[in-house]
Structures are given as C-alpha cells and as structure tokens.
Amino acid sequence: MSKQTIPTATDMLMPTYNRFPLTLVKGKGSWVWDDEGGKYLDYTSGIATCNLGHAPDSVKEQLEIQLEKIWHCSNLYHIPVQEQLAKKLVENSFGDQVFFCNSGAEANEAAIKLARRYAQEVKGIEAYEVVTFRQSFHGRTLATLAATGQDKIQQGFAPLAKGFRYLPYNDKQALEKLVTDKTCAVLLELVQGEGGVVPADEDWVKQLADLCKQNDILLMIDEIQTGIGRTGTLFAYQQYGIEPDVISLAKGLGSGIPIGAIVANQKAARAFSPGSHGSTFGGNPFSATAGLSTVTHIIENELTARAAELGSYLEEKLHGLKQQFSQIKEIRGRGLLQGIVVDDNAVDYVTKAREQYQLLVLLAGPNVIRILPPLTTNETEVDQFISVMEKVFAS
C-alpha cells in the first residue's frame, strides 16, 4: 500500500482470509441476506456451526433471559448453567467429566495437554507423542497446527511444536507403526472435513481403537466438525462401535456463540487437577446458555434422527447428480456433512453457485465441494440445492 493510498476499514484487517465479495447482515434458518437485500440458501452453516440454522428461536429466547442476569464470571465461582451443560453432555455420551473453553483449537489443545499429563502424571512414564493422520485438520495454534497433517497449514511456522507423528489415514498396514514407547495418545477425525470430506473406514477405526486399549494410550476423537448431530448421531463415534477416552467439541455446540469443550472418561479426566489447565472465558454463563439450549433442542426434537434421514436423502440426490455429470468423480461423507469430488477446480463451482444462483457452499481442498446444511433443513431445500447444482454443473 502506497503512502498516498487512503486505507479502508477492510485494509485495517490482517489479510488472513480470502473473503468472498459478500457482506451478510441477516440470517434465519437455512437462509441469509446480504447488505443489498439478496437472499441466499446457506448450505455452509457457518462451517458446521449453525446446526440449528441461523438465529434459532429456542436458543435466542434463553440468551435473552441470560442477558438480563449475568454475562460473564470467571471459573473461580460455580456457574450452574455450565454444570447443567456438562451433565447433558455426559448423560448423552461415554464421558464422565467436561472441560469448557472457547473454540475448537482450544479444545484440541486441552485434549493434547490432557494426554501428555495422563501419561506423565497418572501412568508415570515419559511419553508425550500424539499420533495424528495425514490430511487431518485440528486447528491453527502452534500445537494444533503441528498436530494437523497438512504441510500448507504448517508452512512458515517452523520450528513446529514437537511430539506429533503422522500416519496415513484409513491404512491398516500403517497401524503396525502406531505405538512406540513415547506414544501417549491418538487424535483423529472420523470424517476429515478440511482434508476433503473423507470418512474413516469402520474396520480400520475398530482396529485402531483396539490397539489404543491394548497399549493404554488415549483414543481422542476430534468431533469439532462432526459432533452435535451433524453426521446423524449426536457424536460421530457413536456410529463406529467404539468408545473413545476423549472427544473435542466446538462449532455446532453453541449455535454461533463461541464455546468449545472436551469430554473425557474418568480414566483420562483424573489427569487434570486444580491449576493444571484453565480458561478465562470458557463456559461462562452466556456461552454455556447457548450450549445448553442448543444441545437440549437437538435432543428433545430428535434432530439427530432427522439429520440421518435428510443426510440419506441428500446423498441419494448427490449420487443422482454424479450419474448426470462426468466431472463428478465421487460422493462421500456422513449425514449432513457431504463432499462432491470433481475432476477440476472446485472453487469455480462454488463461485458460480454463489454469484449466479445465490447458493452458499464451501471448499474442502482444491477439488472437493463441501456441503453442510443445518440439521433443520428440509427436503424442499435439499431439492432446491440439487436444482441449483444441476445448473452449475450443466453450465
């Protein structure tokens, strides 16, 4: 920027995003509006965050009540709504205890810290290594980008944090190298979202879980994108016949209000003690209210079953698209997390859908279109989405 150029407000933001030329000012359900009145079908859900759609009434009502009470207090005091949310998560999962934070990266940081502390303080061994998988994505902090198995995420941040080792995803033979005397945990996604919408093979996951159990290393599932009903169960691990030691949550947990969490069984949770970890904002009354009302609404209205049913409907329609258009090479995903693999640049399709047909979808790598409808979508909206994608591929 030259000295003569007058900076705009946009120029004053660090250029960490390639933003679409679109300003969204309103959202409701599956729909958003821009600052010029344009209406868009939003099949991104804020990257799997607005699982109840935009501005859900059930969450809004509880937040308005909480705004008249107290917005924030530290974790030096009891926070009843935080405790209620923890109880709800524990009662509907494998877990025994919960730690709250603000984001997915922080949740994975907490999981990594818990794993190391479990090995060193509970087991009493000098193990610190966490095994992750190639093409995984676990966050952008120094530890979580080191855990991420993608070179493009790590570029420019050397030296990377030590203590992470990467194996090929869905590779049974590679599991022979899973455990060393330094291994304390395994961290994986059951659908690699950022890595291309790649579901884990069920037999591979079960073999992996057995190895973790046999060697007393923690099995930690990153449910940040797959959790809170997105794949057709409240948590994706529930479809794989396994029981992890830790899961990390964020995104859909708060309907857009920042909140993250890890849920752990008693074996792993006992590694944390007063002073071993903490968060100023984590689980404060406002964010915990968003989390509790979101999870309660999903459970009470059986939206996980709805996500499974609509996911099957969406997947069937996507396979119909594949039969029509040769540029579609594969359809993959689970529930309402689906990917269209194309033979060229996926960004061209994403751009055309937005600019010409007012449909919002995402990328998952250079050749995958990622689809993330809210759990509250319906068959009419799915049909509308498919109709638009037919026009996009035909053109």
280 marked among binding-site residues: yes
For residue 14, which amino acid is it?
M
Say if residues 166 and 133 touch (Cβ distance below 8 Å).
yes
Number of H helices, E strands in the chain: 12, 17
Reply yes or no: is the peptide bond before residue 159 cis, omega within 30 of 0: yes
Residues 192-224 as b or e (16 or more Cβ within 10 Å = b): bbbbbbbbbeeebbeebbebbeeebbbbbbbbb
- Amino acid occupying residue 311: G
- 96 among the known binding-site residues? no
Let me know: does 351 contact 359? Beta carbons within 8 Å.
Answer: no
> Is 217 known as a binding-site position?
no
Round the CA-based radius of gyration of the chain to a whole number and report it.
21
Any known ligand binding at 95?
Answer: no
Long-range pairs for 113-117 at CB < 8 Å and ≥24 separation?
113/276, 113/277, 114/218, 114/246, 114/262, 114/264, 114/268, 114/269, 114/271, 114/272, 114/277, 115/184, 115/185, 115/187, 115/218, 115/220, 115/246, 115/268, 116/163, 116/184, 117/271, 117/272, 117/276
Half-sphere exposure at residue 31, Cβ-oriented, CA atoms within 13 angstroms: 8
Q: Which CA distances in Å does 167 have to 188, 192, 210?
A: 11, 14, 17
One-letter amino acid for residue 209 of the chain: A
Known binding residue 137? Answer is yes
User: Is 338 known to sit in a ligand binding site?
Assistant: no
Q: Is residue 222 a known part of a binding site?
A: yes
CA gap 53, 379 in Å, rounded: 15
DSSP 29: B
Report whether 286 belongs to an annotated binding site.
no
Which residues sit in the known binding site?
104-105, 137, 140, 222-225, 279-280
Residues comprising the binding site for pyridoxal 5'-phosphate?
104-105, 137, 222-225, 280
Binding residues for N(2)-acetyl-L-ornithine: 140, 279
